[in-house]
Structure 1
Amino acid sequence: MNRYNFLSAISYQLSAISYQLSAISYQLSAISYQLSAISYQLSAISYQLSAISYQLSAAQS
């Protein structure tokens, strides 16, 4: 393998690695978005449970 072919092979491998890292970055962004949505839903549930607790306390007094 001459120098040109060697450098071309390295360039190709680096491009493949770059593509894989971009795909991983995209997946992590999607996971982050999903976790944010879950966090929002849990906050809404917490708010609803607090409202129920308040109503139960008011009903007992």
Structure 2
Amino acid sequence: MEPDAEELEKRLAAATSPLYVYPLVRFEAVQGLARAAAEAIKKNTKPTPTCWRKLATPSTLS
């Protein structure tokens, strides 16, 4: 988890106006989940949060 994730979660929960998420950010999130699922399928296991974090590192996005 990111070092400041708790602070970000608090700020998001306290937001009163609608939140906008850029399409590229959504795409990257979906791509990361798809990579985790594909990796898990290769290993015949279910994707785990650890797997998602490992696959979301910048070195694997090239």
The TM-score with structure 2 as length reference comes to 0.37
Tell me: higher relative CO, structure 1 or 2? Use CA pairs within 8 A at least 6 residues apart: 2
With normalisation by structure 1, the TM-score equals 0.38
